Chains A and B, each alone.
Chain A
């Protein structure tokens, strides 16, 4: 077993790619799902501006989910089947949620005005269904994909916390992309949401080591415990910093409006890093490792070469899109 052997490094590279795709997805679709969850707290005019702040991005954001599930599908086919059949119902709820919110972007702008309320409801309900089911799946995954009353209770808890976390990052996005009364509201939403993030991070961090002795040992032995200390300490510092920043926002000249969003991204990244560290090398918790589940090296190599060429291009034009639509969100127009 050497690292020059493609059967070893390719699965690792693809696990890393999948991890990156999930993290990018959780951040990007996290903020636009969160904006959807916050919908009922805004008035009609604010709702239009909220949709305008995510309208040009949401489709590309969701594509990262397709990439993540695609990598799971193509690089780890046996794990793909095992995970998705175990999560059959929450996946179905998520898909219907994604459908309801995705089509609402177009319909609420194009349908007769009398129907707009219905599509706003569809947008909110779809966003909520998607967030809750993703959180539920996260909880079940942490619990080793076993369905017992206890694991379901934990999954329900993570469902709520992830939804609050998405609302939080959604609120920080709105602080960046809006101004005036809506921006003030977004600051309040973020202040409320941050406590959900703290509780969620705490619950997951406490539960994970107790599910498996292996994960416990990975965290609480020497010298790992010292090497890993930056993860929880960094998270704590970020949360404290975010709280201080939120109390001072919005500033008179709108400086630092992007700070909470960046902080939220960093916080999501740290939390995700911790989870990834806990579960590696397993892709199905405690059952199938990435090396056991991996496709044939020659198939992975074909994808790897394509990825090396195409991924930088994708990142390049994604940056282009965010640059084109930088600044405060204005009314969406085809003109």
Chain B
């Protein structure tokens, strides 16, 4: 394998590992703030117990996100120097604003949020929780601005092969940014909803019957049930936006080779990129035309439109897009089914958690990681769908790669993969261990009313 493909795999592995953790921390920060505020309002101990349990998972996820994020900021330089050389004038300020307005905020206040409860007044601890949640969201905002700009670049001009910003408003609010940002923030919300529901279901199945586990199981299910229809709508809008700006990507997602009307929605197929056709097609007639053009004979672009005169393929690879898109959508529908079923059973005869049938609880446990699966599949769809461009229409991936010897990249790639695999294993193991401990009733070490105590201590100083 050559340096280009190895560098791509390395960055892909790195960013895949990284995104798992921000996907959790972005929404979990707000959920923790919700727990804290619910406790402040009601004084019910279950909310503080929920806070204490989930803040541990937050801290662990945050640490994993930080260290894998630092790695990426260096890989821009070690593996992709052409990226900053060509579009550094645009990407630079966006990344700088992420560091300045997000990274320091979250890093500094995380310390107070985690370890400061007994050292600062209750309001400052709540404020620190808010600022950490706000910081993670700001970070998501800036990085999605940059990522969206790489898909739908706007507000710039090229002079001597280098991009210069002409309109910062157009750069930031580039055509795909609002859709992508909404889609990702909702994805984070769903990931956390199902993580909380899944872990709580596991604790319930292990026999825990605390007020805390009831509260979090309900929170997770209701949150998931509320967010998933919005996500399906936002995802559809995002798809229509992609159709407008990156039609080749949508053609690959649909597995549609010829531009035509009455395109079926393929539930399954094996796209054959050599023969340029699908095998074993199973589809809903007119489905893709209906979704993308909102009428049965709507014309959907085909992949064959993106082949140059000399036969050079100018569209992204079809197989990975076709399947990763379907995995994402299927996971989304599983989320819809399970969360709505959960809410239905809880509402029926007002039985609450007791109303949840056992099979549903068992099904929720593996769904704890469904958000990860859908998020990764979605990102693979959109990012592989950008190929062969790094910045759509401006800079190819090949032009940006560093001239590092292939064996050296292979060496670091293997090292990263080993470390990531071990950490992922350890991470899931610790969540499992903490859940087990909580289910056995060992978790809330000390039951101290947090805010009043902290205030008393400050007053005493």
Contact between A77 and B84, CB atoms less than 8 A apart: yes
Contact between A299 and B165, CB atoms less than 8 A apart: yes
Nearest to B117 among chain A residues (CB) is A335
| Chain B residue contacts of A96, Cβ below 8 A | 415-416, 419
Contact with A along B235-247 (1 / 0, CB 8 A): 0000000000000
Contact between A84 and B111, CB atoms less than 8 A apart: no
| Chain B residue contacts of A56, Cβ below 8 A | 111-112, 114-116
| Chain A residue contacts of B78, Cβ below 8 A | 84-85, 87-88, 91-92
Nearest to A87 among chain B residues (CB) is B78
> Which of A165-173, A205-213, A276-284, A300-308 contacts its partner?
A300-308
Question: Assuming the A-B contacts A111-B429, A302-B93, are A63 and B99 also in contact, with contact meaning beta carbons closer than 8 angstroms in the complex?
Answer: yes
Nearest-Cβ distance from residue B18 to partner chain A, whole angstroms: 11
Contact between B56 and A110, CB atoms less than 8 A apart: yes
Most chain B CB within a 10 A radius of its CB, from A62, A63, A317: A63
Interface SS majority for chain A: helix
| Chain B residue contacts of A270, Cβ below 8 A | none
In B53-79, the 8 Å CB interface with A consists of 55-56, 59-60, 62-64, 66-71, 73-74, 76-78
| Chain A residue contacts of B81, Cβ below 8 A | 80-82, 84-85
Nearest-Cβ distance from residue B282 to partner chain A, whole angstroms: 44
Nearest to A82 among chain B residues (CB) is B81
> Which of B180-188, B330-338, B445-453 contacts its partner?
B445-453
Q: How far is the CA of A55 from the CA of B415 in the complex (A)?
A: 27
Contact between B107 and A59, CB atoms less than 8 A apart: yes
Nearest-Cβ distance from residue B180 to partner chain A, whole angstroms: 22
Contact with B along A71-85 (1 / 0, CB 8 A): 111110110111111
Q: Which of A98, A111, A303 contacts B70 (CB 8 A)?
A: A98
Contact with A along B399-426 (1 / 0, CB 8 A): 0001110001000100110010001001
Contact with B along A88-123 (1 / 0, CB 8 A): 110110011011101101110011100000000000
Q: Which of B96, B117, B426 contacts A70 (CB 8 A)?
A: B96
| Chain A residue contacts of B71, Cβ below 8 A | 95, 98-99
Contact between A295 and B92, CB atoms less than 8 A apart: yes
Nearest-Cβ distance from residue A101 to partner chain B, whole angstroms: 8
Any chain A CB within 8 A of the CB of B30? Answer: no
Nearest-Cβ distance from residue B50 to partner chain A, whole angstroms: 13
Contact between B117 and A334, CB atoms less than 8 A apart: yes
| Chain B residue contacts of A65, Cβ below 8 A | 70
Contact between B408 and A84, CB atoms less than 8 A apart: no
Nearest-Cβ distance from residue A257 to partner chain B, whole angstroms: 20
Interface size on B, residues (CB 8 A): 73
Contact between A106 and B89, CB atoms less than 8 A apart: no
Contact between B56 and A74, CB atoms less than 8 A apart: no
Nearest to B114 among chain A residues (CB) is A334
Any chain B CB within 8 A of the CB of A243? Answer: no
Nearest to A314 among chain B residues (CB) is B104
Contact with B along A291-332 (1 / 0, CB 8 A): 000011011001100110011001001101100110000001
Nearest-Cβ distance from residue A146 to partner chain B, whole angstroms: 17
Any chain B CB within 8 A of the CB of A60? Answer: yes
Q: How far is the CA of A77 from the CA of B76 in the complex (A)?
A: 10
Contact between B60 and A106, CB atoms less than 8 A apart: yes
Contact between A85 and B402, CB atoms less than 8 A apart: yes
Contact between B118 and A335, CB atoms less than 8 A apart: yes
Q: Which of B85, B112, B419 contacts A77 (CB 8 A)?
A: B85
Most chain A CB within a 10 A radius of its CB, from B60, B81, B109, B419: B81
Nearest to A318 among chain B residues (CB) is B108
Any chain A CB within 8 A of the CB of B433? Answer: yes
Q: How far is the CA of A102 from the CA of B59 in the complex (A)?
A: 11
Contact between A105 and B63, CB atoms less than 8 A apart: yes
In A26-73, the 8 Å CB interface with B consists of 55-57, 59-60, 62-63, 65-67, 69-73
Contact between B60 and A318, CB atoms less than 8 A apart: no
Contact with A along B132-169 (1 / 0, CB 8 A): 00000000000000000000000000000010110010
Contact with A along B165-209 (1 / 0, CB 8 A): 100100000000000000000000000000000000000000000
Any chain B CB within 8 A of the CB of A148? Answer: no
Any chain B CB within 8 A of the CB of A333? Answer: yes
Contact between A111 and B426, CB atoms less than 8 A apart: yes
Contact between B93 and A78, CB atoms less than 8 A apart: no
Contact between B67 and A103, CB atoms less than 8 A apart: yes
Q: Which of B104, B404, B412 contacts A85 (CB 8 A)?
A: B404
Contact between B403 and A59, CB atoms less than 8 A apart: no
Any chain A CB within 8 A of the CB of B211? Answer: no
Q: How far is the CA of A62 from the CA of B71 in the complex (A)?
A: 12
Question: Assuming the A-B contacts A73-B95, A98-B67, are A63 and B85 also in contact, with contact meaning beta carbons closer than 8 angstroms in the complex?
Answer: no
Contact between A314 and B430, CB atoms less than 8 A apart: no
Contact between B96 and A303, CB atoms less than 8 A apart: yes
Any chain A CB within 8 A of the CB of B270? Answer: no
Nearest-Cβ distance from residue B155 to partner chain A, whole angstroms: 12
Q: How far is the CA of A83 from the CA of B423 in the complex (A)?
A: 29
| Chain B residue contacts of A303, Cβ below 8 A | 92-93, 96-97
Contact between B93 and A74, CB atoms less than 8 A apart: yes
| Chain A residue contacts of B279, Cβ below 8 A | none
Q: Give me 7 A-to-B residue pairs in the complex whose CB atoms sit less than 8 angstroms apart, sorted by A's number.
A: A59-B110, A60-B104, A85-B403, A98-B67, A110-B56, A111-B433, A299-B89
Q: A67-B100, A84-B81 provided; 17 other pairs, C-beta below 8 A?
A: A55-B111, A69-B77, A77-B84, A81-B82, A83-B77, A92-B78, A95-B71, A107-B426, A298-B165, A303-B96, A311-B100, A317-B105, A317-B109, A320-B108, A320-B112, A321-B109, A332-B115
Question: Which residues does B use to contact A, with CB under 8 Å?
Answer: 52, 55-56, 59-60, 62-64, 66-71, 73-74, 76-78, 81-82, 84-85, 88-93, 95-97, 99-101, 103-105, 107-112, 114-120, 162, 164-165, 168, 402-404, 408, 412, 415-416, 419, 423, 426, 429-430, 433-434, 445-446, 448, 450
